[in-house]
Structure 1
Amino acid sequence: MTAPHLRDRYLQDSINTASPAKLLLMLYDRLVLDLMQAEQALRAEEREAAHDKITHAQEIVIELRTSLDVEAWSGAPALANIYGWMLTELIGANIARDADRVAAIRNLAEPLRDTWREAAAAAVAG
């Protein structure tokens, strides 16, 4: 087995065995990474790389939105609206090749990720 194949298998196994909270954090971590890389690529005028990262970020936001149970808690509908805004902004940023719009989305995604991380840690602790 080659090293890339082993790495891919490890990543897939990690995803398959992760708890829902861990999966959510993995999605947010990757979303923030994609947004950072997209912003950098746009600023460097690497359009294809930026497009790929923004498109992947859109897929993550869609997954976050579709997996959100809006009946589960009172804040869920507002979070669904935030995801809708993020998706609209990602599409607009991709079309306009606007690094500042990508940065604004990242500036919202990072505190959301951190909040979910704290909630997951609190749930484990108590």
Structure 2
Amino acid sequence: MTTAPQLRNRYLQDSVNTASPAKLLVMLYDKMILDLVQGEEALRGGDREVANYKLNHAQEIVLELRTTLNVDAWDGAPRLANLYGFILTELIGANISQSPERVAGCRELLEPLRDAWREAASATAAG
């Protein structure tokens, strides 16, 4: 018998496997920002273990975005790579110093990017 969590996991895996590259990028941004929100909340609540886990996962996503970015693809790519480097440094520092404010600053930089990628993905899908 298949359980509800198994069905959910299969649905999520199928969603990832069938998503376009643009949709995958948006999914990564969504998860990264969710990690930042939850990490910030955990820091504010004094839950160091959850904060560390969420911030480390967000760092892994930033690293993935940075390493898969083709800096020769467009003229803004090197600046985006630099932003990813800055975000990574800030998240490491926020985790060490347990600073929810630094996490919030990263989230505030990344949310408009996520929204722009979502818009671009929608335009690509519609076009």
Question: Normalising by structure 1, what TM-score?
Answer: 0.96
Aligned counterpart, 2:92: 91
% identical equivalent positions? 67
Aligned counterpart, 1:121: 122
Distance 1:8 1:73 in 2: 36
User: How well do the aligned residues superpose, as a CA RMSD in angstroms?
Assistant: 0.9
Q: CA deviation at 1:125?
A: 3.4
Distance 1:4 1:121 in 2: 29
List structure 1 runs of 4+ shifted beyond 3 angstroms.
none
User: Structure 1: 5+ residue runs without aligned partners?
Assistant: none
Aligned counterpart, 2:27: 26
Distance 1:118 1:7 in 2: 26
Distance 2:20 2:61 in 1: 17
Q: CA deviation at 1:53?
A: 0.5
Distance 2:123 2:7 in 1: 33
Distance 1:120 1:111 in 2: 14
Aligned counterpart, 1:77: 78
Q: How many residues align?
A: 126
User: Structure 2: 5+ residue runs without aligned partners?
Assistant: none
Equivalent residue letter for 2:112: P
Distance 1:66 1:57 in 2: 14
Question: Normalising by structure 2, what TM-score?
Answer: 0.95
Equivalent residue letter for 1:32: I
Distance 1:48 1:114 in 2: 29
